Amino acid sequence: MTEINLQAIESILRKVGEELPQRNEAAGRPDSRAGMHRRFDELNGWAEREIRSALTPLHPDICWSQAELDMSAQEGPESESPYWVLDPIDGAVNLIQGFPFWSISLCLVERGQAVFGVIYDAVRGELFHAQAGGGAYLNGMRIAPSGKKDLDDSVLLTSPPGDSALERDNAARTTRSLDLLLPQIAAGRMLGSVALQLAYIACGRADGYIEFGSGIYDWLAGALLIREAGGIVTDAAGRPFDWGTESIAAAGTAELAERMAEAWRSAKPS
């Protein structure tokens, strides 16, 4: 695997993460949907430029994905050569509205596999990272998922589609999964940033996660983190999580993962 300068990456993400809310607050709260979209374009574009310009000289042989928002291009690896997948603001609505749960996510894909991932929570100053075969860490300390095995004891997380009006099928699947699982679990939450919710599964703050969509890049860094922490990652029906999947399910234990998959497989088509 390509050798990665974690310390330099951490410094870059912490700097960008500190400035993002300052830029957002200085511009005032958007008063319309169109205004939120413009703010996202401004902040996301600025953060992407800052991270790319700082990281590229450190790893000039690693290219950058061009498919963050292109779902069809995420059905398979863009290249066998190493490339970065960057989400400069995961949970952008939270940042723009002043909610605390958003993150910066960065993943290195090499030979079609996620081999290094970082998820940075600028609000809490928490940096999660994982490297294939090297474990998962939070601010340098090894992490592990929870050991819960039963739905009844578990806190599950999920996320709706980024635009439910454009992703009606995925919105319907999300609603169906909530109908199935909420009566069976201890508690359910929708927190915002997808990557950060997956990081919370990896460190045991929550026990399971399920989401429906077609953009695997939102999930790659978090999925690597969970696997390296010792957790389980599949699709919603318990099948292998891989390119082309249209859902993700994650849990701290194989038993809980199977109970989540059983619940979804038992659902009759709506």
Residue 1 lies in a domain: no
Residue 270 lies in a domain: no
Do 121 and 180 lie in one domain? The reply is: no
Residue 64 lies in a domain: yes
Do 70 and 131 lie in one domain? The reply is: yes
Residue 58 lies in a domain: yes
Do 20 and 135 lie in one domain? The reply is: yes
CATH of the domain at 187: 3.40.190.80
Do 87 and 53 lie in one domain? The reply is: yes
Least Cα distance to 213 among 164, 157, 250, 179 occurs for 164
Do 137 and 202 lie in one domain? The reply is: no
Do 21 and 136 lie in one domain? The reply is: yes
Do 32 and 102 lie in one domain? The reply is: yes
Considering 104, 121, 142, which residue would you say is the last residue of a domain? 142
Considering 101, 120, 142, which residue would you say is the last residue of a domain? 142
Residue 233 lies in a domain: yes
Provide the residue range defining the domain that includes 130. 6-142
Residue 16 lies in a domain: yes
Give the DSSP per-residue string, the chain: -----HHHHHHHHHHHHHHHHHHHHHT----SHHHHHHHHHHHHHHHHHHHHHHHTTTSTT-EE-S-TT-GGGGSS-S-SS-EEEEEEEETHHHHHHT-S--EEEEEEEETTEEEEEEEEETTTTEEEEEETTS-EEETTEE--------GGG-EEEE---S-TTT-HHHHHHHHHHHHHHGGGSSEEE--S-HHHHHHHHHTTSSSEEEEE-S-GGGTHHHHHHHHHHT-EEE-TTSPBP-TT-SEEEEESSHHHHHHHHHHHHTPPP-
Considering 142, 168, 199, which residue would you say is the last residue of a domain? 142
Do 138 and 160 lie in one domain? The reply is: no
Assigned token pair, 153? 């004891």
Length of the chain (residues): 270
pLDDT given for residue 188 in this prediction: 93
Residue 32 lies in a domain: yes
CATH of the domain at 45: 3.30.540.10
Do 101 and 198 lie in one domain? The reply is: no
Cα dihedral 162, 167, 172, 177 in deg (nearest 10): -40
Do 90 and 160 lie in one domain? The reply is: no
**What does R_g of the chain's alpha carbons equal in angstroms?**
18
Between CA 119 and CA 199 the distance in angstroms is 7
Do 130 and 207 lie in one domain? The reply is: no
Do 180 and 161 lie in one domain? The reply is: yes
Residue 191 lies in a domain: yes
The per-residue pLDDT string of the chain (270 residues; one tens digit each, 9 = 90 and over) reads: 678 889 999 999 999 999 999 999 999 999 999 999 999 999 999 999 999 999 999 999 999 987 666 666 666 667 788 999 999 999 999 999 999 999 999 999 999 899 999 999 999 999 999 999 999 999 999 999 999 999 999 999 998 766 655 567 777 878 888 888 889 999 999 998 999 999 999 999 999 999 988 678 889 999 999 999 999 999 988 999 998 888 899 999 999 999 999 888 876 454
Domain count of the chain?
Answer: 2
